[in-house]
Chains A and B, each alone.
Chain A
Amino acid sequence: MTDSTGSASGRAPAVALTGITKRFPGVVANSDVHLTVRSGEVHALCGENGAGKSTLMKILYGMQAPDEGTIEVNGSPVRFKSPAEAIKAGIGMVHQHFMLADNLTVLENVVLGAEDLHGIGKRARARVRELAGATGLDVDPDTLVERLGVADRQRVEILKVLYRGARIVILDEPTAVLVPQEVAELFDTLRAMRADGYTFLFISHKLDEVRAIADTVTVIRRGTTVGTVDPSTVSSRQLAEMMVGSQLPSPETRTSTVTDREVLRVENLTLRTPDGRALLDSLDLVVRAGEVLGVAGVEGNGQTELVETIMGMRRAATGRILLGGKDVTRSGTLARREAGIGYIPEDRTRHGLLLTQPLWANRILGHQTRRPAARGALLDVAGARLDTERIVEEFDVRTPGIDVAAASLSGGNQQKLVVGRELSGNPVLLIASHPTRGVDVGAQAAIWDHIRAARADGLAVLLVSADLDELIGLSDSIKVMLRGRFVADADPATVTPEDLGSAMTGAGEVDAEGHLVVDRTEEGDKG
């Protein structure tokens, strides 16, 4: 599966980070991080969202300065003040979100900002062709970037950093936006380039991909590196345990509380982009009172769109959404919330909180028409404050008071506040999008407990999560989503994360009723 990596012994490591610590006000993002990347290897950096991967890469790339610790590149200590200096030292970074000018050609995008290397004319073109040929990053230099698909855009981004002389390339979650075949192509490219002596730092939290491509894996958890392993000698399970910590809190629900009262019914829901591509393709689902319906899928396969359409933040092209038998397809977000939908958004800082406002003002958001936060058109500040105190108490939000700004809480405590607010006012349906993303283990267990308790009280929950253990543990049934469709159903009592994982990439087998075929014999050794 993975090639051997012997060649590097004796040479200085391409990158050596020693004792890196970075503090932000109130938070330590990285603490005593050690990372050694040998020259000519693909080194994966694994960790959950919020574990501190991005901060570490920003430090290596010169976007932020570490408070403590040293960085060595090819054996010599460096101190980058800006990405420009990192580039000069041969380090390039491909960001998760592409930074390309749509209205320029591939060549122009590659050369933009690096005109002094090879000019903008023939020499530049020759150099781009040479790089493209040598690395198999095959894109026509004269095509406009707006015509390119996602995979080609990524190639252009890689070409950009190579053109600037990078020999060490940081790839920030490069597969998040790709479909499986494109991932395979990307990995072929990386293997070929590795043979040419390029070094890669591959950031990901997808363990199967990490195991497929990496020569070495370093796991980072809550800001610090917990170990470096050879992926061929450990299982995905062991890696996962390193990522979440040894205690691995169990989210299991067991005793079924599912009733036969339908709370949410979605029929034939289709959502299109302005140019007609289907983001959601004829989806049907039913969530009953006391039931948790889990939606699994690689991020970017329509889960966000599904949730936002059910919340009324996007308008479906066709289909119906019924809440408790009432058609809410045409209702706005506020009307849906008033009808009893609670919403834990996937990105709490963008969609869940007013960061500079105090906690009690955040309690009002989404409840601005209802008691105890409001009385008619007037806000009930006293009522909101009192209820915020209750949430802080019940949900164990660690804060010195309810007058501090939401931004000054840690991620886990912000999330507990959001969960507490969304479970307020007796909702009938909870839409939970990655409810424990980027929160510490203690907060994670607490949030699971609260969701479980609410479910026992008859709450219907639609749970979208990238954490397969969470999905399997909390859900009463699971649907697998791929490219805007539900491609399989799975029973959480029998399915394993590995089964789900392969179904999410379209590799799973499905029987006549749409149920995932679970084959116990091939456990753990795919590929």
Chain B
Amino acid sequence: MTAKLRSSLLAPALAIAFSALLCAIALLISGANPASALGVMIGQVGEGQVAVDIVNSTAIYMLAALAAAIGFQMNLLNIGVEGQYRIGALVAAIVGSALVLPPVLHWLVILLVAAVAGATWALLPAILKVTRGVHEVLSTIMMNAIAFGLAAYLIRRDQFGILIGNNVSTEPIPESGQVPGIDLGARGTVFGLVFLAVVAAAVYGVVMKRTRFGFELRASGESPTAAAAGGVNAKRMIVVSLLVSGAVGGLVGMPEILGRDHAYTLNFASGYGFAGLGIALLGRNHPVGIAFGSLLWAFLEKAKVALDNVGVPREIATIMQGAIVISVVVAYEIVKRMDLAAEQRRVGRALGTAEPAEADAGGAR
């Protein structure tokens, strides 16, 4: 067990060290001091509301990464999280502002609406995949483009948009539909829905490890043929996993909408879905890995502002994010192969073999 733990920590450690090295080299080439750049980024965490921002962003990234990971578990690349969370947020904001419900129930309904909207956005790629064999990467990318267009259209002032100050947004969600946060005064407010991300990660972990659904999902991912022979209905698994992935994707925008903006505005953040794909890779679809990956991502994202102060282009943080993902993918593959080969050798040794080659199969040991 400890050997297993060691090898599962080895890969990300190697990857992060390697990508840090890459960034240090990039910084040195551009004439900056890597140590001082890292120093100001860490120092930035203590400034103003940055620490709270990091926590809030971590939760958002976790949701996005969980959505991506559900697909990854069975080798479905749901690139469409980006579109699913945008549609989820927009529909939830529109419906949420129109409903009149008591507190708690109101925002629970809004969450449900967001999840259903996200799942609906994933439905078409799922149907296309199982009936026509259309690859989900293509269809979800196209659904992303449609989502952007649709969102831009629906928020027009002749549709659901209204002018607030000099920003166009949907009708604000009444207070009963807002999720209260934890107010830390000058440090900012932690979104209440940070706990949604934690719960989602925990549920995801239990479902993957302990339920029949999770087992079938992972089996389909590892070997579709063996899963089929074992009675796993491949088409059903594709539809269900894409829909669940889309539903979780639909929730990605909710911490910001219900905790801060209370409406879908023109400034609604984009890019969480794509970040989620990278973080899911970084965390190897493991809930704890995803949590740490999200934290690292959020840190790089929020602390990079400080780099400008020491004359370092802040894009170096983006380079680092990319370098981490690539290094992790490579490092995991290498460590996985090493582990398997080591285990095969270990089994061979334990049985005193070269069994298939040497004559007396019955005489081993």
Enumerate chain A interface residues (CB-CB to B < 8 A).
Answer: 23-31, 50, 52, 222-224, 311, 313, 332-338, 343, 345, 350-357, 361, 364-366, 368-369, 374, 377-379, 381, 398-400, 404-405, 407-412, 440-443
* Interface hit among B85-93, B205-213, B283-291, B302-310: B205-213
Q: Which of A364, A379, A400, A440 is in CB contact (< 8 Å) with B355?
A: A440
Contact B355 A398 (CB under 8 A): yes
Interface residues of B in 181-232 (CB under 8 A from A): 209-216, 218-219, 222-223, 225-232
Tell me whether A405 and B229 are in contact in the complex, defined as CB-CB below 8 angstroms, given that A50-B356, A222-B356 are known contacts: no
What 8 additional pairs, Cβ within 8 angstroms, besides A223-B357, A369-B212?
Answer: A25-B340, A27-B348, A222-B357, A343-B229, A345-B229, A366-B231, A369-B231, A400-B350
Q: List 27 A-B contacts (CB under 8 A).
A: A28-B356, A28-B357, A50-B356, A313-B228, A333-B229, A333-B231, A335-B231, A345-B229, A352-B226, A353-B226, A354-B223, A365-B219, A366-B229, A366-B231, A368-B215, A377-B211, A377-B213, A378-B212, A398-B355, A400-B346, A400-B350, A404-B346, A405-B343, A407-B344, A408-B344, A442-B361, A443-B361
Q: A97 to B346: give the CA distance in the assembly, Å.
A: 34
Q: Which of B210, B355, B364 is in CB contact (< 8 Å) with A381?
A: B210
User: Nearest chain-B residue to A348 (Cβ)?
Assistant: B226
Contact B226 A354 (CB under 8 A): yes
Q: A224 to B357: give the CA distance in the assembly, Å.
A: 7
The secondary structure that dominates the A interface is mixed
Contact A356 B351 (CB under 8 A): no
Q: How far is the CB of B338 from chain A (nearest CB, A)?
A: 11
Tell me whether A31 and B357 are in contact in the complex, defined as CB-CB below 8 angstroms, given that A368-B215, A400-B346 are known contacts: yes
Q: Which 3 A-B pairs have the closest CB atoms?
A: A334-B231, A28-B357, A26-B348
Q: A335 to B218: give the CA distance in the assembly, Å.
A: 20
Task: List chain B residues, Cβ under 8 A from A365.
Answer: 219, 226-227, 230
Contact A29 B357 (CB under 8 A): yes
User: Nearest chain-A residue to B351 (Cβ)?
Assistant: A398
Q: A357 to B227: give the CA distance in the assembly, Å.
A: 13
Tell me whether A332 and B353 are in contact in the complex, defined as CB-CB below 8 angstroms, given that A26-B344, A377-B211, A409-B347 are known contacts: no
Contact B212 A354 (CB under 8 A): no
User: Nearest chain-B residue to A443 (Cβ)?
Assistant: B361
Q: Which of B212, B226, B343, B354 is in CB contact (< 8 Å) with A404?
A: B343
Task: List chain B residues, Cβ under 8 A from A343.
Answer: 229
Q: How far is the CB of B81 from chain A (nearest CB, A)?
A: 26
Q: How far is the CB of A43 from chain B (nearest CB, A)?
A: 23
Task: List chain A residues, Cβ under 8 A from B350.
Answer: 400
Q: How far is the CB of A265 from chain B (nearest CB, A)?
A: 21
Q: Which of B344, B346, B354 is in CB contact (< 8 Å) with A28?
A: B354
Q: A356 to B214: give the CA distance in the assembly, Å.
A: 16
Q: Which of B216, B230, B347, B356 is in CB contact (< 8 Å) with A400?
A: B347
Task: List chain A residues, Cβ under 8 A from B225.
Answer: 350-351
**B270 interface hit (Cβ, 8 Å):** no
Task: List chain B residues, Cβ under 8 A from A223.
Answer: 356-357
User: Nearest chain-B residue to A334 (Cβ)?
Assistant: B231
Interface residues of B in 221-252 (CB under 8 A from A): 222-223, 225-233
Contact B215 A25 (CB under 8 A): no
Contact B222 A354 (CB under 8 A): yes
Tell me whether A25 and B355 are in contact in the complex, defined as CB-CB below 8 angstroms, given that A356-B222, A365-B219 are known contacts: no
**B341 interface hit (Cβ, 8 Å):** yes
Contact B230 A368 (CB under 8 A): yes
Task: List chain A residues, Cβ under 8 A from B356.
Answer: 27-29, 50, 222-223, 410-412, 440
**B362 interface hit (Cβ, 8 Å):** yes
Max chain A Cβ within 10 angstroms of own Cβ: one of B230, B341, B343: B230
Tell me whether A379 and B229 are in contact in the complex, defined as CB-CB below 8 angstroms, given that A26-B344, A27-B356, A50-B356 are known contacts: no
Contact A332 B215 (CB under 8 A): no
Contact B228 A26 (CB under 8 A): no
Q: Mark B127-167, 1 if CB is under 8 A from A, else 0.
A: 00000000000000000000000000000000000000000
Task: List chain A residues, Cβ under 8 A from B353.
Answer: 26-27, 410
Q: A442 to B365: give the CA distance in the assembly, Å.
A: 14
Q: A31 to B357: give the CA distance in the assembly, Å.
A: 7
Q: How far is the CB of A404 from chain B (nearest CB, A)?
A: 6
Q: How far is the CB of A49 from chain B (nearest CB, A)?
A: 12
Q: A379 to B209: give the CA distance in the assembly, Å.
A: 8
Contact A378 B210 (CB under 8 A): yes
